[in-house]
Amino acid sequence: MRILVTGAAGMIGRKLCARLAADGALAGRPIETVHLVDVVAPAPPAGACFATLCEALDVAAPSTAAKAIAARPDVVLHLAAVVSGEAESDFDKGYAVNLDATRRLFEAIRRERDRSGGAYRPRLVYASSIAVFGAPFPETIDDDFLVAPLTSYGAQKAIVELLIADYSRRAIFDGIALRLPTVVVRPGPANRAASGFFSSIIREPLSGREAILPTPETMRLWCASPRAAVGFFLHAAALDLERLGQRRSLTMPGFSTTVSEQIEALRRIGGDAAVRLIRRQADESSAAIVSGWPGRFDARRAQALGFAAESSFDEIIRVYLEDDHVPAVA
């Protein structure tokens, strides 16, 4: 089993690689090599029993895709992306990374398949997003709801979903797009994702630091933990995709909650002192982006295929405390 991970230096990428190292196998096959690619060189996962190649490659560079696919990986875990807030503020960069680079990756796979006489057909698992959906929303979004994004980021993800369906139909690769919920609680410093505050209002107070809340507490989100997100990718890599038919995009399970309910979960676990560290400071730009995202799904198609996530925000906070929390230094 040879695996390529793009975006391997990102938060989910690092956790995914750590899990691969811990398991030593994927889809019931022992891992031989893992090729980790990102704009900065990813760190090799500790304790890996397989060979690891870590490369600093800009996925937007025209030559990167051919280099990444040259060894003909059996599984491609494509996480590399410009996040939502940055894709909205930098139109050119968003399309260059989220769409153009992805299309070059798909074409590199097609060229290797042609060279192999059709024998090479990898599994491709793509990190899509619930940002592919746009308002107005019903109370609960089911698996048949219209894809109509209201941001450049969502548009880029939706276009790639269509490409995955077509390339899979033509047997160029065996692909699946995972529409990820808002992933919380993210460890480490904030990135430029518009949804970053959903994590910071939990992460920072639990470490004794102030956090900014830029939206009303009535804002609703569909969320899952980083641990669940890693599980989504591993499950998708092993799943019999014939069960999907031609519909290769799946909304992942999650938990629907409001910011107010997040804060109450924080109070139950971290106490009133933690809640007092949240400061309200309106930001119309952040609010405009996240208010265009749906907050409640019926993800029964993914659940029927074995995908699973948390069922309460208390559980999500406990996952963070177990996996990532760094206590405040007295």
What is the block-wise mean pLDDT of the chain (330 residues), using blocks of 10 residues? 97 97 96 97 95 96 96 98 91 97 98 97 97 92 95 96 98 98 89 82 95 92 97 98 95 96 97 96 82 88 98 96 79
Residue 99 lies inside a defined structural domain of this protein: yes
Residue 205 lies inside a defined structural domain of this protein: no
Residue 137 lies inside a defined structural domain of this protein: yes
Structure tokens at 315: 């559980």
Residue 120 lies inside a defined structural domain of this protein: yes
Q: The domain spanning residue 113 has which CATH number? A: 3.40.50.720
pLDDT of the residue at 328 = 65
Residue 40 lies inside a defined structural domain of this protein: yes
Residue 75 lies inside a defined structural domain of this protein: yes
Contacts of 262 by beta carbon, 8 Å cutoff, 6+ apart: 198, 201, 202, 313
Half-sphere exposure for 296 (CA within 13 Å, toward CB): 10
Structure tokens at 198: 């959903």
pLDDT of the residue at 329 = 55
The DSSP string of 263-310 is HHHHHHHH-HHHHTTEEE---HHHHHHHTTS---B--HHHHHTT----
* pTM of the predicted structure, to 2 decimals: 0.94
pLDDT of the residue at 294 = 84
Question: ∠ at Cα 83 (198, 6), nearest 5°?
Answer: 120
282 burial class (0-12, 13-18, 19+ CB within 10 angstroms)? exposed
Q: Are 175 and 246 in contact (CB under 8 A)?
A: no
Residue 14 lies inside a defined structural domain of this protein: yes
Q: What total of structural domains would you count in the chain? A: 1
Residue 145 lies inside a defined structural domain of this protein: yes
| Domain ranges, residue 47 | 2-181+225-251
Catalytic residue among 126, 153, 167, 320: 153
Asked if 153 is an active-site residue, the reply is: yes
